Amino acid sequence: MATSSVALSAPYTVFPLSAQLQQTKSKSKSASSCRQCYTAPVDSRKRKRSDNAGIELVTAVDGEGVNLYNLSHTQTISSYALQATTTFACAPVSSVTKVTKSGVSRRTYAALSEPKKQIVCWEESARGADAGEETTKQNATDTKSKSEVVYIQDLSTFSKKKKDAESFEGSGLLVVYADGHIQHFSEDLQTKHYSVIVGSKEPTTIVYAATATAATAKKSIFSNRSDIAISDSPENIVLFTVAKRAENYYAQAILVPVVAGKKTPKELLSFQLPTAGDATELADSTFSIHFPTGVLYKLSSTYLTTYNFALTRPNITAAFPIKSSTGPETKPISLLRISASTVLVTTNDEVIIYDTKYASLQASAAIKSDESDLTAGVFLTTFISEMDLAVGYSQEGIVGVQLTRQRAGEMGGLLIDSIGRGVNKADVFTTKKEKYENHLMRRFENERARAAKVIGELRSARRSQNIAQFERVFAKYVGVKDIPEPTPASPSGDVTMADAVAVPEAKDLEIPTSTYKTLKLDVVKAILDLVFTASEATTEEPAHLTLTFFPPATLKYLLESGNFSTQLLPLSHGLVPALLRYDPTLRTLQWFLTTLTSLSSSEVLAAIQLCLSPSTVIPEGEDSVVFEIHRAEILRLSLLRLSAFPAPTVVSEFQSLPADTLSLLIRLLENELSSLGSDDLNAKEEGKTLGVEDVRVVTELLTAAVDAMGMGGMVLQGGKEVLEGIRENVDDALEIVEEVVELKGLLEEIFRHVDWKQVVETVTLEQIAASDKHVVEVEDEEEEEEAVEEEAVEEEAGNTTIDFDDLPVSSTSLTVKKKPAALPARNKRARLTAAGHAAALLRANSHRKVVVGHKKMLQTTAISKYEVMKHDRPVALSTAKGLSVILPLGALAMRRIVNPLTNKEVKVVGDDEEGRRPINNRSRLKREYWREGLAAGVYSVESMVV
């Protein structure tokens, strides 16, 4: 069964009173000896703060006076004593304003009914930190009215502050009387600006009043009323009242000017409230309005009714009977709205939360009191949304009821689990529908029965401490295979015997890598309850989590499939200490940090504190080295996980660390930043850095750590040296970042001027050296062969005499020595080194069938000439056969060239068609590519970057 998302604590005393409320000699108008107590929040116009340091409460107690309390620090701020016979007419109002950098001004108003009807104002000014500079001034004025005051409001909370003054423009006090009179007094109560009755002149009794800004009322109450035109100007506010006339309730909206002397209040809306239930119970109704949504709540002795004022004609949206008290004459005694659809109702014996939207009871808390005493009970009057705290009073003093918002993970069920439940019939596309009647219901019931059976078998295996049986049952339920361990056998087929102690080992599970089964929450929670146990809290130590049963394959499946959640544990906190207590070597903790997908910031911080705390027990011997390795890895993983949280969360978590631990973390992050900015790669000694290697993560964590420590902590921890070191490291890191940005701009400028249509072949120095060596070897072999042939020719050849008839006329007899046949080959090497070196180089490369280039471009091949020529812009990467990790466009970063010897364009390397006939060296020279100056320039820039 699903549980409520909110829980109530039992009422507890926040500030005690000097005496119980019913123990007084003064009598009220009804001749009752019970005193009245009123509470209201203090309106603050100070600087906004993220904490609850400014949450204050003002109280008025009959026979005592007016007190100001700080709820966050549970201390008294100010106290204004009055006569013992004083009674108050309504709740007081107080506001605090920051007038200077170190000074504040408090103004508190209270309406008295006895000993005489008057309004009292206390104005307290604190100009500095010294107590001697505080001044308190009291003013009072008689109301001169026979009717009681039902509502007062300080208009300075709505008005604007003057430019050259500490007061507020047109500020003052708005007073509403039970007979319908509305009065506006000045700040010091010495001037009455107006006193009017707005609306009907019939006898009226105002039972409820509240105010809101005109902008808020325009968006809610008057959102569908085109006949009412009001502006969003802060010069006006809306006063909402509920009056009783002749056994009927009437709602009225009045436009009240904030600036005194300009206008008078005027009526905007007035109508009769419809009733629900018994009309004779109208005399004991309590009201409360939620202005942002325009919802009005009415509580009678038997019904809770909700009115929607955002409609054109307000009507009843919900009306349901409430839970009655057990006493003979008890009834609901207070109504407090806490949200748009949630209200708190108190009786003499319990506090109840009702959800008016779904007409349901959300939570309740019992009140321990004597039911026969009609003065007992809790009266809740104020709700502090920043603290989820409802404040009121009882016979003992100012009490509070704490609301606890429960997490969704602790609920017993989800909405998705309820889909299909209660379905009588499911239509299936078949002619035999009767066969599939209640098919979904039977399927859900079978799944629940199977899950219950599996949980029972798992509990049985847990009681017997049989890990193998536990994982066998779990593997069968999730649909994975249990891998049997092979048994060694002898060549004859007999089992090999071993003289050793048999140790049972858990079998591994063959987990599918493609998909995992999403398990039901109740199954996962039952398994985690068997693995982890929560100890009871004692006076010596709080409740903590303990890992008492460790099925490795089951936990591996839950972690890798994402079914493991810390919200399903017996305790939502304490996972890291539990893993440390189970495995002091930190192997299990590292495994969880590596595998677990979701982990709260408090658990991550616990892992960081574990690694940095000097109280962590380190094993001795060889285990200490392994321990240090695991601890360093856990610290690295924890810092990376913590950097994923928002900055305010990280700062808040760092503030909970001890000062020494936080100082150590700052020094480690500073050292990491320094190592990231070091140009010497050998300067990073093994084990001296955190291994984060991300300047953004390091700077974010270092900033959060410094913010968490604060300037006060820096002074106490020798922060001057720390800040100086951080400043130097940050300066170095900024210089490196600037250099990187400049280098990035240089590369972008180079690549911007590259003609990406042309391709060039890149040749590395290693490949050129290898090719030269190969060419030299081939030339040496050819030279040796030619030398042998030359010697043979010289032995056979002799002198030859040319006939005179074969010569010109003027010639004479001439004897010529025949050149050996090998002589022309002696100049071949010279020609190769001069003009034919490139051809020999390319020939050698073609024999080896490799594409020369940078070692990171060995897998890069060229694109076809047609694809290069047909596009005016760079060719898409999908057309290239390989991608280069050096140049931004891969193979497109190469360019075509023209052979300077033939002045003709040649083909791209790798574009040979199969079956083409071999070509000689000269034609190959005309059709090959070699490196050009552009490629050399890009390669040199890349070498500088690397």
Each residue's pLDDT tens digit, 648-667: 888 888 888 888 888 888 88
Q: Is residue 431 part of a domain?
A: no
> Of the ranges 55-59, 381-385, 414-418, which one carries the lowest mean pLDDT score?
414-418
Percent of the chain surpassing pLDDT 70:
63
If you ran DSSP here, which 8-state letter would residue 161 be given? Answer: B
If you ran DSSP here, which 8-state letter would residue 489 be given? Answer: B
Q: What is the dihedral of CA 614, 616, 617, 622, to 10 degrees?
A: -90
Task: From 538, 555, 572, give the residue that closes a domain.
Answer: 572
Shared domain for 731 and 709, answered yes or no, is yes
Shared domain for 747 and 760, answered yes or no, is no
> Which pair of structure tokens corresponds to residue 611?
């690694």
Say whether pLDDT at 698 is over 50: yes
Shared domain for 764 and 888, answered yes or no, is yes
Shared domain for 906 and 763, answered yes or no, is yes
Integer distance in angstroms from the first to the last C-alpha of the chain? 63
Higher pLDDT: 801 or 107? It is: 107
Are β-strands 286-290 and 295-299 bridged in parallel, bridged antiparallel, or unpaired?
Answer: antiparallel
Say whether pLDDT at 537 is over 50: yes
pLDDT value of position 540: 73
pLDDT value of position 376: 58
Say whether pLDDT at 632 is over 80: yes
Shared domain for 541 and 678, answered yes or no, is no
Cα 911–chain centre separation: 54
**Residue ranges making up the domain that contains 893:** 754-777+836-946
Of the candidates 519, 549, 521, 522, the residue with the CA atom closest to the CA atom of residue 533: 549
Q: Is residue 848 part of a domain?
A: yes
Distance CA 13, CA 35 (A): 17
Cα distances (angstroms) measured from residue 181 to each of 108, 211, 214, 285: 22, 16, 21, 22
Shared domain for 883 and 738, answered yes or no, is no
Distance CA 838, CA 929 (A): 10
Please state, rounded to an integer, the average pLDDT across all residues of the chain: 71
Distance CA 1, CA 705 (A): 44
Do 383 and 373 meet the contact criterion of CB atoms below 8 Å apart? no
Say whether pLDDT at 829 is over 50: no
Give the start-end residues of each E strand in 857-921.
898-899, 904-905
Are β-strands 43-45 and 93-98 bridged in parallel, bridged antiparallel, or unpaired?
Answer: parallel
User: Quick one: 56 exposed, middle or buried, by C-beta within 10 A (0-12, 13-18, 19+)?
Assistant: buried
pLDDT value of position 586: 85
pLDDT value of position 175: 92
Q: Is residue 910 part of a domain?
A: yes
Q: Is residue 469 part of a domain?
A: yes
Q: Is residue 841 part of a domain?
A: yes
Q: What is the dihedral of CA 321, 323, 329, 335, to 10 degrees?
A: -80
Average pLDDT over residues 496-523: 58
pTM tops 0.85? no
Q: How many CB atoms lie within 10 A of CB 504?
A: 8
Cα three-residue angle 65-69-72, rounded to 5 degrees? 165
Average pLDDT over residues 809-838: 43
Number of domains in the chain: 3
Cα distances (angstroms) measured from residue 939 to each of 754, 763, 875, 910: 13, 10, 21, 22
Shared domain for 710 and 771, answered yes or no, is no
Shared domain for 716 and 758, answered yes or no, is no
Q: Is residue 941 part of a domain?
A: yes
Distance CA 241, CA 251 (A): 6
Give the model confidence (pLDDT) of 219-232 as tens digits: 888 887 777 778 77
Distance CA 590, CA 671 (A): 23
Shared domain for 850 and 886, answered yes or no, is yes
CA atoms within 13 A on the CB side of 262: 10
> Of the ranges 418-427, 501-510, 686-695, which one carries the lowest mean pLDDT score?
418-427
Distance CA 349, CA 368 (A): 7
Q: Is residue 29 part of a domain?
A: no
Give the model confidence (pLDDT) of 603-620 as tens digits: 888 888 888 877 777 777
Average pLDDT over residues 241-270: 84
Shared domain for 882 and 770, answered yes or no, is yes
Question: Sorting pLDDT into bands at 50, 70 and 90, what band is 926?
Answer: very low
Question: Sorting pLDDT into bands at 50, 70 and 90, what band is 482?
Answer: low
Distance CA 939, CA 764 (A): 10
> Which pair of structure tokens corresponds to residue 16?
């005690």
Cα three-residue angle 112-118-123, rounded to 5 degrees? 85
pLDDT value of position 422: 43
Q: What is the dihedral of CA 498, 503, 509, 510, to 10 degrees?
A: -20
pLDDT value of position 152: 92
pLDDT value of position 900: 42
Of the candidates 90, 91, 143, the residue with the CA atom closest to the CA atom of residue 116: 143
Average pLDDT over residues 532-549: 81
User: Quick one: 58 exposed, middle or buried, by C-beta within 10 A (0-12, 13-18, 19+)?
Assistant: buried
Task: From 524, 551, 572, give the residue that closes a domain.
Answer: 572
pLDDT value of position 572: 76
Specify the length of the chain in residues.
946
Q: What are phi and psi of 133, to 5 degrees?
A: -90, 0
Distance CA 935, CA 932 (A): 6
Q: Is the dihedral of CA 930, 932, 935, 939 positive or negative?
A: positive
β-strand partners of 335: 345
Percent of the chain surpassing pLDDT 90:
3
Task: From 548, 572, 596, give the residue that closes a domain.
Answer: 572
Higher pLDDT: 584 or 737? It is: 584
Do 597 and 644 meet the contact criterion of CB atoms below 8 Å apart? no
> Of the ranges 516-530, 719-733, 883-897, which one carries the lowest mean pLDDT score?
883-897
> Of the ranges 255-259, 404-408, 476-480, which one carries the lowest mean pLDDT score?
404-408
pLDDT value of position 849: 38
Cα distances (angstroms) measured from residue 895 to each of 588, 711, 868: 56, 60, 9
Shared domain for 846 and 901, answered yes or no, is yes
User: Quick one: 238 exposed, middle or buried, by C-beta within 10 A (0-12, 13-18, 19+)?
Assistant: buried
Question: Sorting pLDDT into bands at 50, 70 and 90, what band is 322?
Answer: confident
pLDDT value of position 720: 67
Q: Is residue 680 part of a domain?
A: yes
Shared domain for 872 and 771, answered yes or no, is yes
Q: How many CB atoms lie within 10 A of CB 900?
A: 6
Of the candidates 175, 70, 58, 182, the residue with the CA atom closest to the CA atom of residue 122: 58
